[in-house]
Structure 1
Amino acid sequence: MIIGIAGRIAAGKETLTKFLRDKGVNYFETRRILSETLEEMGLEASRSNMQDLGDRWRGEGGAGALMEKILEKINYKDEDWIIDSLRNGGEAEFLREKLGKDFVLISVDAPREIRFKRIVDRGKKSDMLNWDNFLKVDERDDFDKENPMGQQTGRLIGMSDHVIMNDGILEDAMSEIKKAWEEINK
């Protein structure tokens, strides 16, 4: 089984993936294949460069191009895997078509203000630490109106089998994560 993870920036995808990894599910982060390719090209593995590369691959090879590259790297037929994170609705459609019932999409969401506070609090070098920069990146991530092969986190949330609201109370989010896990394993 493949568990695809989607969610807005700083919504809590790491909390979800940690839970699943603790359950023994293998983990593949899309960032890995993107950053390795960018390094081979002599480019910085910035958020913007990774988004641009993913958009380019989808534009050249179809919406499922990035997922196809990932499936070539993992033993998904014999093992359960997390793919963290999907960014375009076509990626989920590709995985659903290829894997059928062996694909589940889980998204994590939280209000914009809470997500911005999390970004400021975590202080990652790659994060946008002012509100205007955050809004610009968040809007591109939600739905890139300029590019149908671009970022579509908002669309992915709407397509999800399970949506975890992580709006501030960790225990509530963990309860939703556990419920989704139980439903997946029925």
Structure 2
Amino acid sequence: MRIIIGVVGPIASGKSVLSKVLQQKGFARLSLSDEVREEVRSRGLEIRRDLLQDIGNEMREKFGDGYWAERLLGKIEQKKSYVIEGIRNPGEIEMLRKLGNFVLVGIDAPADKRLERALARARESDPKTLEEMKKIDERDLGMGEKTSGQQVARCMEMADYLIENNSTLDSFTQKINALLNELLTKHDEK
């Protein structure tokens, strides 16, 4: 039996750490953001956070809020367990829930911790100041966005589980492992 774990959270909250831990446990990784990047590249455009958001929103508005999740469906094998990153809209969650055995995990962390992590990982598109972080958060969380836009705050409300990533990497990894054990135990009981 398989389990599909979707991951949602604000920038630099620990989503990719959770994904890596699950991959080490045998989960395959898929990313809605990779689908958006593919679309941006096919248009010959530069990969930038604002363009990814704009094109992600444009395609959801054009084809429905679950569009990016729908693009992934053909890549999902029946007997395999997956971790799915890059969820940004409730329509994507609704589409993924149709697969069955889908669990949404929200990850959150204080803005100052997230900024520290963003600075440490040094991605070009990451914020360099708390002010930049706030601006990115506003759009990402859904402030002033259409329903087809970025809606991370609404997605977080839909999470089946929430992990606070407000301490050390070891502490966060322990929380992930505890959650995975709980999920696998519940899954085996079904």
Please tell me whether the aligned partners of residues 144 and 150 of structure 1 are also in contact (alpha carbons under 8 angstroms): no
Q: Residues 1-186 of structure 1 correspond to what in structure 2 (within 5 A)?
A: 1-72=3-74, 74-96=75-97, 98-100=98-100, 102-186=101-185
Task: State the secondary structure of the residue aligned to 2:8.
Answer: strand
Query: How far off its partner does 1:68 sit?
Result: 0.2
**One-letter identity of the residue aligned with 2:90:** G
Structure 1: gaps of 5 or more residues: none
For 1:77 and 1:57, how far apart are their aligned partners in 2?
A: 27
Structure 2: gaps of 5 or more residues: 186-190
Query: How far off its partner does 1:105 sit?
Result: 0.5
For 1:89 and 1:4, how far apart are their aligned partners in 2?
A: 12
Please tell me whether the aligned partners of residues 2 and 76 of structure 1 are also in contact (alpha carbons under 8 angstroms): no
Query: How far off its partner does 1:161 sit?
Result: 1.2
Q: Between Structure 1 and Structure 2, how many residues are aligned? A: 183
**One-letter identity of the residue aligned with 1:110:** A
**One-letter identity of the residue aligned with 1:85:** G
Query: How far off its partner does 1:133 sit?
Result: 1.9
**Greater Cα shift, 103-112 or 136-145:** 136-145
For 2:76 and 2:120, how far apart are their aligned partners in 1?
A: 37
Q: What's the CA shift string for 1:131-170, capped at 9, x where partnerless?
A: 3222111111112423111111112122111111101222
TM-score normalised by structure 1 residue count: 0.92
**One-letter identity of the residue aligned with 2:10:** R
Q: What's the CA shift string for 1:27-78, capped at 9, x where partnerless?
A: 1122222112111101111111111111112111111111000112x13322
Evaluate the alpha carbon distance shift between residue 38 and residue 63 of structure 1 in structure 2; reply closer, same or farther with a 3 A threshold.
same
**Greater Cα shift, 74-83 or 33-42:** 74-83
**One-letter identity of the residue aligned with 2:127:** M
> How big is the alpha-carbon RMSD for the aligned residues of Structure 1 and Structure 2?
1.4
For 1:139 and 1:17, how far apart are their aligned partners in 2?
A: 24
